Chains A and B, each alone.
Chain A
Amino acid sequence: MKEDPIETLRQQDTNLRDAIKLEEEALPPMPADLNARLMQRVEEERAKEVAKRRRVRMFWPLVAAACVAALIAVFLTPPKGTLEDGMSAGKPVAVKVDKPKREKEVPQVEVPQKATQTEAPQRISIPSEEKVAEQPKMKRPAATTSRPLLAQKPVAEKAVAENAVAEEAVAVVESSTEQSIPETPRGEMATVTLTERDIPITRPENYQYTPEEIALMKKQANEAYLKWVELELEISKYTLEKMAQK
């Protein structure tokens, strides 16, 4: 309703319309290639959009796969306690060692006091090697064994332990148990800490020759040299004799 008088005014006002027309004509013309450039830009934007969508489409399956992998890793990995890399990593490992059963000593307790007093110092003076022989039931963890933390070993392994080869390791274990662990009641377990250093072959000092070994090698080399000189002399004597015969 209100627009009608304004519309009539606009149609009647020819001067104003002419002025607007003139001003429009004075404005810069629209470039001919502007629409082409616009359409090109639209295409570029569309390509960008498609690439973005594709990236998003590629991204989420990867995220899902990563989540599934993480879940599988969490649920399928064994608990920490069963991991077997304790010894190989060079970290100290707690090894439970059976205290030797002293079944034979039990009757000794019943012996009168005088007898026990005389026996006690004897026991102390026993060298460590003998002690090893006396205590065959002690469990010695092998450096490469995969279960150093097992508390109880089967009987077969006990037998192997009895014939154990690495006496030094045993001695170390033995000495450490003797020194650090107080005597526990029979049947209880004692904890000993073993490292790679306790295995003789891995001790760095064993990589080098001892002075005794070096002296022995020198002696052997000298003897070999003397023997070689004697042999050369014999050879030359033999050749001289042959030449004299000729």
Chain B
Amino acid sequence: MVTDIETNLIEGLREHSPKAQQMMVERYGRHVFSQVVRLLPSVEDAEEVYQDVFLKVFLNINRYDEEKASLKSWVSRIAYNESMIRAALKHLPPEERSLITMFYYEEMSVKDIAYVTDSPPNTIASKLFRTRKKLCKIIQMIQS
């Protein structure tokens, strides 16, 4: 299922080698971008998701299981999920969208978000929980 080139590539990625990362981007970049653009019409969004996909790949390469799928399929799966989340975000009201963006994309703490939005941290935590559930429902709707 996995070729020798891919095996070397995965080894390099697990060692966080910049060369391997560059090779990965060159090898699968075009494919990921076209997949993302198909789901997200906006190029800006597609570019952001593209970068997020590869960052996730580099960070979570140790979780990749060669037995289950090829590297290309694994990367495609991440790209698909990321694109779906981004597409679902568009269906959220501005307040909930900004909460999710601040928490997941800008990696702000609940305390900081509470300060920015001028609301108690507990409220932010509960809103995030509800928004996550809502997002899951929206993704299921898009998929169906």
A residues lining the B interface (CB < 8 Å): 24, 27-28, 30-31, 34-35, 37-39, 41-43, 45-46
Contact = CB atoms under 8 A, between A and B. Distances in A.
Contact of A28 (B18, B30, B37, B54): B37
A198 to B, nearest CB: 55
A24 B35 CA distance: 10
A37 B46 CA distance: 14
B58 A42 contact: yes
A35 B25 contact: yes
B29 A31 contact: no
A35 B43 contact: no
Interface in B9-25: 16, 18, 21-22, 25
A34 B33 contact: yes
B55 A30 contact: no
A28 B30 CA distance: 12
Contact of B51 (A24, A27, A41, A46): A41
Contacts of B30: 30
Contacts of B50: 34, 38
Given A34-B50, A37-B51, A42-B54, A28 B22 contact: no
B51 to A, nearest CB: 5
A70 B68 CA distance: 53
